[in-house]
Amino acid sequence: MIILILFAFALIILGEVPNLIRARSWKDSVLFSVILTIGFVTAILLYIGVDIPSPIVGVRHLFEDVFKLSYKIW
């Protein structure tokens, strides 16, 4: 399965990076690399069975504890 993950990300890289380099879009290349790395690490962690928490927990903490906002749950 790790081979499939590597193959999928390699195809994404081969499809996108040459165009970014030709266009000399360095900022876009950095952003693409960061997002792709986050996706790759997340895919590997999910494959090996690491329990990744929902991002909504962090967003909820941000709104309720940091911004002191609350909302009514129906």
pLDDT for the residue 74: 61
pLDDT for the residue 24: 92
Number of domains composing the chain: 1
Residues 15, 18, 23, 33: is their CA dihedral positive or negative? positive
**C-alpha to C-alpha distance for 71 and 74, rounded to whole angstroms:** 9
pLDDT for the residue 58: 87
Residue 74 lies in a domain: no
Residue 18 lies in a domain: yes
Instruction: Return the residue matching tokens 């690399």.
Output: 33
> For residue 68, is pLDDT > 90?
no
Would the pTM of this model clear 0.95, i.e. be above it? Answer: no
pLDDT for the residue 48: 95
Asked if 12 contacts 36 with a C-beta cutoff of 8 angstroms, the reply is yes
> For residue 67, is pLDDT > 70?
yes
Tell me which residue range forms the domain holding 6.
2-66
Give tens-digit pLDDT for 19-64. 999 999 899 999 999 999 999 999 999 999 999 988 888 888 888 8
